[in-house]
Amino acid sequence: MKLNIKRVYDKSTKADRKRVLVDRLWPRGLTKEKASVDLWLKEIAPGTELRKWFGHDPAKWIEFRKRYHQELKKNIARVSRFKEELKKGTTTLVYAAKDEEHNEAIVLKEWFSS
């Protein structure tokens, strides 16, 4: 399993292979064609309450990761199904956040790589 991370606004390349959007909300200003998303996994994205609480504040990053892990554990059936899909080849998790160091795709990559 090879798992990459990329902003959804960055141009799609062949190296991305399967592009999976991991945001709960569709990215602003992007059509489905421009996003080049193969799958949208809003069901395993951070819940609305957690997403709003975090607000991409780096000071809340450690607590966000902890809370998001708890959400993923509660949603283990869907998460496990997606983990099986990852075994089929290279996948790129795409996200809309401007912060490339503090976003849900990083937490998911850690989760699936463990």
| Stretch 52-77: mean pLDDT | 96
DSSP string, 27-43: PTT--HHHHT-SEE-GG
Query: What are the tens digits of pLDDT across the range 15-50?
Result: 999 999 999 999 999 999 999 999 999 999 999 999
CB of 95 within 8 A of CB of 7?
Answer: yes
- Helices assigned H by DSSP within 27-89: 32-35, 48-54, 61-74, 76-86
> Tell me, what's the pLDDT at 24?
95
Q: Which residues pair with 18 in a beta bridge?
A: 91
Structure tokens, 73: 């554990």
The pLDDT confidence band at residue 55, using thresholds 50, 70 and 90, is: very high
What are the structural domain ranges in the chain? 3-113
Q: Which amino acid is at 68?
A: Y
pLDDT tens digits, residue range 5-15? 999 999 999 99
Identify the residue with better confidence: 108 or 86.
108
% of the chain at pLDDT higher than 90: 85
pTM of the model: 0.93
